[in-house]
Structure 1
Amino acid sequence: MIGALLVIYGHSSPLVGSGELFPPEWPVQPDEGVLMGFFALSGFQITESWMRDPHALRFAVKRVLRLWPPMLTVSVGMALVVGPMITTLPLGEYFRAHETWGYIVNNAGLLTLRHDLPGVFENNPWPDAVNGSLWTLPMELLAYGGLFALLLLGTAKKDFRWLTVVALIGLIAWDRHLEQTPGAESAGSLLSVPVESLVAFLVAFALGVLLNLYRIPLSPLAAGAGLVVLVVMGNNITASAFMAFAVSYAVIVAGHFWPSRLTVPGVWVNGSYGVYVWGFPVQQLLAMAGIGDQWLMLLCAAPTCYVLGTLSWKYVEDPTMRLRHLLDTAPEQEVEREPDPDPADVRTERSLPLPEPAVRRVPERPERPLPAPPRPPVGGAQRSAGPPPGRAFPPDRAIPRRQPPEESPLSRRLSGEIDEPPQGRHARRPMPPEAGRRGDPNRLDRR
């Protein structure tokens, strides 16, 4: 959420036409650093998602449900709700224009972004840009795709993690080559994605992946030292190369060591993605309304975007992300649950002092000696079979039982001391003599 609000802060000055918000000689531009932090956090957390559930289909569905719904919501809302209200064209001409529907279709494709709507924001200081914040989403999608391919190759396993290191080294070499090539965005673009910016952000994304896979220690001291070194280095090519490492590591460390006393309920901060995608259109509307001061722009835009982001989380993102549970696998052996017992049954069963609540009176039969377990000879003499003196078992019981205390009539009935059968809905039917102890269908513990 802090990063999303910093992006709104970074857009305030350009969108009111007052120039750069940060001095160009600064070695670290906060808005660029925030975007790198976004990609580093994304790489770290998405890798964790795979480690917890390494299933290709569920992984892909989770990414789709996270990335598309908020972006489609803001695109459709701007094209079909806000656009008709502020366009300089007649409504019929606006809805007949191919650009109106192309805005929705192209943005739904993500890699084919379209940034303008007919007659919308044409006279703003930053004209013909409905939502400039969307430009990083295709890069995020490509980062997801690259990580997905690496994970399918087994990079999450210990023996193949080196593939991620190779990918990072390749991205760093490519980024340094593009940085030293003269000309702005000299590498061109992949559809609507500028390649030079893509590679720079992929470096930060890959750093987040490695920090998770290798469990690299997270140290606030090291993070702070890295930022200090970055500032001291000044604005040069070396500092530009070091920035991705320092900022990515610092952002992940800050998230990991965030003070618990400053933690708030998730609903207050989970709307950061919504704040990010709604920020630019809200600021453009404020600029169209005549706000020309960057600080007034920030003061008005930040709370408005926060509310929209929170609503986006509650009514768009959270409901759609819950759909991923439809793909969760059920347990291999699901035990069929029996109906919950009557509370009176539970109380009766738990109040019985007998280990076996069903005790029947057995008719008298000739006594037979109980077989004693074989015991090793002691001193060359066999011990007599049967129970020890003074502990003879009664003929109608095979094992010693603890007699219930004579305080509960129900216990006395169950032990056979009272011939009167218990009354009520939980009364038991007489058990036939031939029924085994474990075959009694009326036992409470079997019900």
Structure 2
Amino acid sequence: MAHLSQGRTLEAAIGTHDNGFNLVRLVCALAVVVYHTWMMNVAEPMRDPITRFLNPNTDLGAVAVGVFFVISGMFVSRSWMGDPHLGRFAARRVARIVPGLFVCLLVTTVVAVGFFSTFGWAGLFESAPWRYIFGNTVLHGLVYHIPPGHLRIAGVLGGQPLNGPLWTLYWEGRMYVMVALIGLAAALPLRTWMRGVALFLLLAANVYPEIVSGYVWETRMWSLFLTGIVLQTMAPNVNIGWRHVACAVALVLLNWTRSADQTPSPLTWFGIALVAVTLALCAGSMRLPGWAAHLQRHDYSYGIYIWHWPVIVMLRETLPPMGPKRLTVVSLAVVIPLAMMSWHLVERPSLRVVRRWLGRSETAKAVTV
């Protein structure tokens, strides 16, 4: 317990690498892999034990993605508040998402077309694979509805989606635009303005969902991203530790008997999200022990998230049918090295290039002025 943060605010935790948020993201990414390997295995298609416990309110994958969105809301809004410039904000967001995504799409599509299609390597001379690669790389222009045919390639892997989880990235991108629009429209001090607008949108999304339905993807995830923004604006005064986790659990337990008596499940979505998010914030605010320091500077979660689906699908096509536990182990044995290479060879170098470029731009501007 000596390594746990004592009396540290959320602002103090996220203002340095000395926190556990990369570890939280890693755990969430691994949870998504577990959810999909159990769901997609051929031998015994079933739900994982945690999803069976959470059913019918939600599932393990949705909870993990929900925590992702809270953390994303915090860090993306922090990025804008620290440097409220549209061009630099966009450059940072593109650098974090696009290079790793493009390489993943390129490699997995080429392999899928070459080895798992009806036309083999000749299929790479058709337009469909490249339309799939570049369309998904630019997140399909963040349009509200993407035709299903744009998310798969006919004749490749039996026509099944090549990378199912990518649809969440389109909505993540729309949320980035929302943060920029809120920031650009600021009519009060930025922290106060972003808090007020985020609270207003949070209320609107849940009380009048039909009004914002043209922009909102799914009210739950939208609400969690907005919650992340609110938390960031309050970060200097927020301190979340184990007693807050205990209070969240106690609240869920107090509601347990009532819900069990009146609904099919003693749990509720709000209770599940409350405990998951509070636990994530508590763990993220920690100072990690020395053995985990590597994770504070290296974020493998995004690579795991974008690579795992095509790996699972191709392993399922290549190997004999196997149960969910074995498929999970085999998939992680392939996905984790790919995610590490993605971070060290693509994602991190891209971020460094953009940071250097932005630094030089600021220096040149200062000299000119």
- Measure, in 2, the Cα distance between the counterparts of 1:304 and 1:266: 19
Q: Of 157, 167, 179, which residue of structure 1 is paired with 2:201?
A: 167
What is the rounded CA distance, in whole Å, between the counterparts of 1:133 and 1:203 in structure 2?
A: 19
2:114 to 62, 84, 103: 84
Taking the aligned partners of 1:288 and 1:78, their CA distance within structure 2 comes to 14
Q: Is the 8 A contact 1:282 1:305 kept in 2?
A: yes
2:183 matched residue in structure 1: 151
* Distance verdict in 2 for CA 1:11–1:158, change over 3 Å: closer
Summarize the Cα distance change of 1:12–1:229 in structure 2 as closer, same or farther, 3 Å threshold.
farther
Q: Which residue of 2 aligns with 1:2?
A: 27
| Distance change in 2, residues 1:128/1:333 (3 Å) | closer
Matched, 1:120 2:166: no
Provide closer, same or farther for how the CA distance between residues 266 and 219 of structure 1 changes in structure 2, counting only shifts above 3 A: closer
CA contact (8 A) 1:100 1:118 kept: no
Percent of residue pairs bearing the same amino acid type: 21
**1: CA distance, partners of 2:117 / 2:192:** 57
1:50 aligns with 2:84: no
Q: Among 224, 238, 241, which residue is 1:219 paired with?
A: 241
1:250 to 279, 289, 296: 279
Is 1:202 the counterpart of 2:202 in the alignment? no
Q: Which runs of 5+ in 2 are unaligned?
A: 1-25
Q: Aligned in 2, Cα 1:297/1:96: closer, same or farther, shift over 3 Å?
A: same
Is 1:12 the counterpart of 2:37 in the alignment?
Answer: yes
Question: For the structure 1 residues 74 and 156, does the alpha-carbon distance in structure 2 shift closer, same or farther, using more than 3 Å as the test?
Answer: farther
Q: Who is 1:403 aligned against?
A: none
Give the gaps of 5 or more residues in structure 1: 179-186, 335-447
Q: Which has the larger radius of gyration?
A: 1
Identify, as 1 or 2, the structure richer in helix. Answer: 2
- Give the alignment of 1:321-340 within 5 angstroms: 321-325=351-355, 326-328=357-359, 329-330=362-363
Superposition deviation, residue 79 in structure 1: 2.1
Retained in 2: the 8 A contact 1:131–1:277? Answer: yes
CA RMSD of aligned residues (A): 2.9
Change (3 A) 1:174 1:200: farther
Where 2:224 maps in the other structure, the secondary structure is helix
Per-residue CA distance 1:228-280 (angstroms, 9 max, x = gap): 54463566698224444443333222211253345321488412111110001
The alpha carbon displacement at 1:134 in A equals 0.8
Q: Would you say the 8 A contact 2:80–2:89 is kept in 1?
A: yes
**Does the aligned pair in 2 maintain the 1:224–1:250 contact within 8 Å?**
no
> What CA distance in whole angstroms lies between the structure 2 residues aligned with 1:8 and 1:213?
32
CA deviations 1:9-56 (Å, max 9, x no partner) are: 000122114132231636552221110000000111112222332322
Report the alpha carbon displacement of residue 214 of structure 1 after superposing the two structures with TM.
1.6
Decide whether the 8 Å contact of 2:37 with 2:327 is kept in 1: yes
Give per-residue Cα distances to partners, 1:95-144, cap 9 Å, x unaligned. Answer: 3544222211321231348331232221xxxx612111212101110111
**Alignment-derived partner of residue 329 in structure 2:** 299
**Structure 1 CA distance, aligned partners of 2:107 and 2:231?**
38
Q: Tell me the distance in 2 between the aligned counterparts of 1:130 and 1:258.
A: 38
Displacement of 1:74 = 1.1
